[in-house]
Each structure stands twice: as C-alpha cells, then as structure tokens.
Amino acid sequence: MSDDMAAIFRDELRDLLESLERGLLDLKSRPTDMGLVNQVFRDLHTVKGSGAMFGFTDLAAFIHEFETVFDRVRAGVIPIGPEILRLALAAKDEIPGLVEGDADPDGRRAAILSALQDIMARSPASDVAGSEEGAPATAHAAADVPVDQAARHPSRLRFRLSGAAFAMGARPEIVLDELRGLGAAHIAVDLSDVPALDRLDVEACALVWSMDMPAEITAAQLEDVFLFVDADWTLDAAQVDHSDAAHADEPEAAASLPDRAAQPAPASVAAPAAAVLPNEARVAAPVAPRDARAEAAGATVRVPADRLDSLMDAVGELVILEARLTQLARESRDPALMATAEQITRLAAGLRDATMTMRMVPMRSLVGRFRRLVMDLSDKLGKPVEFSVIGEDTELDKTVIEKLADPLVHILRNAIDHGMETEDERATSGKARGGLIELSAEHAGAEVLIRVRDDGRGMDPARIRAKAVAQGLISADAVLTESQVYALVFEPGFSTAETVTELSGRGVGMDVVRRTIESLRGSLEIDSKLGHGTTVTLRLPLTLAIIEGLLIEVAGERYTLPMPSVQEIVELPPEKAQPKRTGDFLDIRGRFVPFLRLRALFDCAGEPGAEQNVVIVMSGENRVGLVVDRIVGTNQTVIKQMSKLHSAVRAVSGATILGDGSVALILDVAHLVGMGRTQVDLQSAPQSAARELAA
C-alpha cells in the first residue's frame, strides 16, 4: 500500500473512530436507541471493510467479533449493558495499534475477544449460530425468527455491480462471502452479457449473480451487504423452483467463485442501493441517493493542516502589503492607484475571511475524548457523574483547539478527583447521589468563553491560603481577595491533595493549564462556593492570526485594540482631565465605568493634548475605559507573536506591522479590564503601574 493510500486510510479511520466512540458513549444514556445501535454497527462495518481492502487482515478479523455482537444487538437478541459498552470501548482503543502493527504482549486483544465470545455464548442465538461447523458468526438469522417464517420459501436475489466497478476497487468475492454469511445458497453466475474480448471494458463488471436467500432476510441486511458497492439488485419473493434449467450448470458456476472467509466490502466504493422488498416478483430496487453523512463527506475536501498554515501566512503578508499599498495610494493621490488599492483591499478582506473560516473548528471535535475521560474516571473513582455539553458547535481557531485539549483534561480530572464528593458524602449533604459536570462554550465579542462547572464540594479559600503559606507561596500576613486566593491553585507545585495518586497531587496540572492558556493570549478565572461547586472559566481569542483592529495613539506611539472588544468611543470630560488620587470613573448612561490613563500606565513623558478620547472596551461582562490621545482609524491587523524576552509583558498580547513599515503593539484587553477592576491609582504611583504592566 502506498504512503498516500495509507494516509487516506488513517484519516478516514480517525473520523470513523471518533464517530464510533461518540455512538458508544451515547448508548450509555440511551441504550434502547436503535438509531445509535445502527450507527455503531455501520461504523464497525466500515472500519472492517476499509481494513480488509487495505490489507489489514488482523484488524478485520478482530472487528468481526465486535461487529457480530452489535448485529445481535440490532436483532434484539443481546441487550446493551455496561459490560458490552466497556468491552466495545476497550476494543475501539485497540484499533489504532492493529493498524500500526503493534504487538499485544499482555494479551489485551485476546481477552477482549474472549469476553465478547462469552457474551454471545450467553445469548439465545448462540446454539444455532454455532451449530453449523465453519459457518460465519453472523449466520444466525434463522434463529431470530419464528419457525413458521423460517419454513417459508426462499427468495431469489439477483445483483450486478454497476458503473466502473473494478476501477473503483470493487471485489465481487467479498460481496458473495457476505451473502453466504446471510445464508445464500445455489449461487449461480450469468455470463450472457460478457462481450467479446475486443469489446471488453476492463473497468466494468458484465457478470450477473443470482442466488436463493432465506425468506427472513430483511432489506436492511441486504443494504449492509451492498453498503460499499454501487449495485443494481432485485429480489423475487416468489417460490423458487430449483429444477429450473437455469441451475443446470450451477456447480461449474459456483466453482468459479473463490470460497473465502467472510470479509467486508471495500470502503472506497460508492454507497448502497436502497432496497424495498416488494410482494410482486422481480421489482428492481433503484439506486438511491447517498445518506446525509455520505453527502457531507463528498462535499468536503481534506487538507493537511500545514497547508492551511502556509495559506494563512501568505494571507497575512498580503494584508501587510495591502496596507502599504493603500498608504502609498493616499500619499500619491493618483485616482487610478487609489481605485486599484480599494479593490485589492476588498479582495484581501474576502480572502482573509475565507481563510479564517477554513481554520475554524467546532468544539465538538474535542468533546468525544472528554466524555470518555469523564466516564472512565467516574468508573475508576466510584463517583457517578453526568457529563453535559452546551455549545459544542462553537468554533475556535484550529491552533486554539489543538492546544486546548490538555488544559481541559486537567480541569475535568480535578473536578472529578478533587471537586466531586462520593455518593455517600453527597447523600449526607442532601445532594443527588450522582454529580454533574457541565462543559459550555459561547462567543463573547472577540473572545470565546469556555466554562467547566461542577456541583461538587467547592473550594475552601481558608484551606487554599493555609496551603499556600505552608508552601511559601505567600506570606502569612498577605492581603488577598477571594479571586486572588483561588488563583493560587495555578501556581507551580501547589496542591491541596493530602496524598499523591496516579491522577493528581503533584501540583503540576493547573500550572500547565495556566501556561498553556496564557500562551494562547487567554486568561483564567475561578468562581467557587463551598459546598455548592466550582466554575473555571477560560477566556480565549477567536483567532491567533488576523483581526480587525482599532489603531490608537498615545504619546506619539501607536497601539492596536481588537475591534470586537471595542464597544464605543467617547470624549474625556474636561473635569476628568486631571487625575484623582482615588479611582476614576465615567458615567456612561447611568452606569459607572472605571477608566485607565494609558499615558500614566505606560509611564510616558510630556502632557496630553487638550482633547482626549476614551475607548470603552469589554472583556466578558466587565467594561473599562482607556484614555488615548488620538484615534487613528481601523485596519486589518496581522498578529505577530512577541519574543520570549517580552513574554512577561502582560498588557501586550502581540504586535503588528503597519502600512508604513512601523510596528504597533497589540494591547491585551482582558488584562487591561482586570486592571480597571482593581482601580489602580496610576497618577500617584506611575512607576508601580509600569511595574504592574510588566508583571
């Protein structure tokens, strides 16, 4: 198999495994949902078929038992229970290793298969399924129907692979093996349509097969067989006369078909023909449209992430050059050049938006692994937990999504291990025996707010403070607000756990969370109520690449504010021109808004002009005003990351290159809003404020 084909298979497999795990986790709460059961069965069938087509015979054989169990679940023979779901998830975890050819030294796979076979042995269909030596595990249909139905006459199935079947990789022998597994008998092949050698189309299939199928075979079972082949087929429900001359040469025809072990059909071939079993004889089942998932897959193109990154870099450079061209056009006042610059500006903006949209990924892509994590930890710790997700369609930049997984894993793990009480503890405190963890995501201006909320025991500020003092993180007489006390849990080495376990207690997890979120230009907040639970809020930028910016000027230097964070711009009232020794506030339509003087914050020399503006910015639910000397205008801002030497400058999140080639710093609105909430007296302590800027 070529490297390209292997990459395609692995990409397809990754999507299928995500869908499979999602279906299995959903079945835990909805075990009677046959739609979910059918989805899981289809995913298994597709993985097995793809594996067989690409030569992963061990994978196909391993999944066969897995698939057979869910076939019996579909038939109502085996009920969905915790044991089946546990084994199914364990089997799903083994699939990547089978693809990579990893060994199984501890015998996990053999143990899983043995457990699955035990489940089938305990099912009502087990005796019949094993009664015929060498019969495939799926040959149990006759045991699932009443005797009077089984005694009915068989139906005659005829099928022909349509289109350029062989060009698409179709393998008729695999289809025939699956039909044998359903009980097909008296298989014959019709060669009458095979053309002369000089007119033979090597990409098409000219053979027509016919066979007897048991009367109880359903349309859904035949659709599964033809799931990966584009075929025209008919089913005659009338009685079959086996003395028919059409069967006179059947031994020779059947002998020409290889007798192989049951294998799935290839996954690269088209979707199945939808069948309706008619009462009258020989009614063809037309080829139906593909299902919604197939349509969605066909409407998308898989692109390597590094190509998107290269495209984003190119768009960024284009935006910078567009700004330079616009400035040159304004300076030249050439009408033709100005018109061209305006057209390029519109095209660059459209290309920017299209590229940004391609990079956006829904939170749903992360939710599957979190559901599995919560389920596994809940079982391991003996703490029943219900996990709910709100806003899983909320989209973030792919870079943010990629780096968000580990922080959320740490937060969820702490919520269950530290935050959630045991069943008895919850019952004693009057709570439901099962806990609740809620993961939510929503857009808020230029940010995405991701919250992890639990209804556990909550955080004890006094205990956190005592631990911090004992570990030398703060002095015993330090004056801290409650939010500052909660923030101590993000300090390196801090932990309130009495003992170190394999899950937590070493004081490294939450430090990793903070460093990762800050590297994404985000921030963290903790809100907790003792005895009622904790909420951890992550504030993250929508994108790390290009934003619309408001260009401002302070003491001759230009800075950029993200436009989605800007609410409005007002003039600074004359009576507010001189700083006070207490906090400064503006009355904005009856609401008091604190404001910061950026000149004082940046410790700038000189005096401001007579007229100053206040830019009202918002982060989350909080607002603050920023006093600036001048509003320059708006521009497309290509975010450039600061060097490691400037990583401690908290009020600056990055930099951008302007049209004249100069550099403008991008201000961190979330940090400035946080400073506004503390009402820092910048006038009385400008050096202290400058140090806080760099803190």
Least confident of 41-55, 85-99, 250-264, 649-663: 250-264
Is there a contact between 24 and 88 (Cβ–Cβ < 8 Å)?
yes
User: For residue 620, what pLDDT band results from cuts at 50, 70 and 90?
Assistant: low
The helix (H) or strand (E) run that includes residue 553 is strand 546-554
* Whether pLDDT at 692 is above 60: no
Q: In this structure, what token pair is assigned to residue 673?
A: 């809003």
* Whether pLDDT at 67 is above 90: no
* Whether pLDDT at 132 is above 60: no
Section 616-620 average pLDDT: 81
Tens digits of residue pLDDT in 330-367:
899 899 999 999 999 899 888 888 888 888 888 888 88
Section 51-70 average pLDDT: 81
Tens digits of residue pLDDT in 22-32:
888 888 888 88
Is there a contact between 171 and 265 (Cβ–Cβ < 8 Å)?
yes
Section 112-138 average pLDDT: 59
At a CB cut-off of 8 Å and minimum separation 6, what does 576 contact? 584, 586, 595
Higher pLDDT, 558 or 101: 558
Higher pLDDT, 370 or 177: 370
* Whether pLDDT at 425 is above 60: yes
Q: Which residues pair with 440 in a beta bridge?
A: 390, 451
> Which of 207, 265, 263, 267 lies closest to 232, judged by CA?
207
Rounded Cα distance, 629 and 612, in Å? 5
Rounded Cα distance, 262 and 68, in Å? 12
Higher pLDDT, 438 or 574: 438
| Phi, psi (rounded to 5 degrees) for 209 | -105, 145
Rounded Cα distance, 267 and 169, in Å? 9
Rounded Cα distance, 463 and 418, in Å? 13
At a CB cut-off of 8 Å and minimum separation 6, what does 44 contact? 20, 63, 66, 67, 70
Q: How distant is the alpha carbon of residue 655 from its chain centre?
A: 30
pLDDT at 496: 67
Tell me the domains of the chain and their CATH numbers. Answer: 3-140 (1.20.120.160), 147-297 (no CATH), 305-361 (1.10.287), 363-541 (3.30.565.10), 546-694 (2.40.50.180)
User: For residue 614, what pLDDT band results from cuts at 50, 70 and 90?
Assistant: very high
Instruction: Encode 289-315 in three state secondary structure.
Output: CCCHHHHHHHCCCCCCHHHHHHHHHHH
Q: Which residues pair with 213 in a beta bridge?
A: 155
Kindly report the number of other CB atoms within 10 A of residue 436's CB atom.
16
* Percent over 90 (pLDDT), the chain: 13
* Whether pLDDT at 541 is above 90: no
Q: What is the identity of the amino acid at 256?
A: S
pLDDT at 343: 92
Tens digits of residue pLDDT in 319-333:
888 888 988 998 998
Is there a contact between 230 and 269 (Cβ–Cβ < 8 Å)?
yes
* Whether pLDDT at 505 is above 50: no
Least confident of 86-90, 295-299, 576-580: 295-299
Q: Which residues pair with 85 in a beta bridge?
A: none
* Whether pLDDT at 538 is above 70: yes
Tens digits of residue pLDDT in 379-392:
888 899 999 999 98
Section 84-101 average pLDDT: 88
> Which of 405, 374, 417, 667 lies closest to 538, judged by CA?
405
Q: In this structure, what token pair is assigned to residue 243?
A: 């003395």
User: For residue 533, what pLDDT band results from cuts at 50, 70 and 90?
Assistant: very high
Section 156-185 average pLDDT: 81
Tokens 């005797």 sit on residue: 147
> Which of 176, 42, 62 lies closest to 109, judged by CA?
62
* Whether pLDDT at 517 is above 80: yes
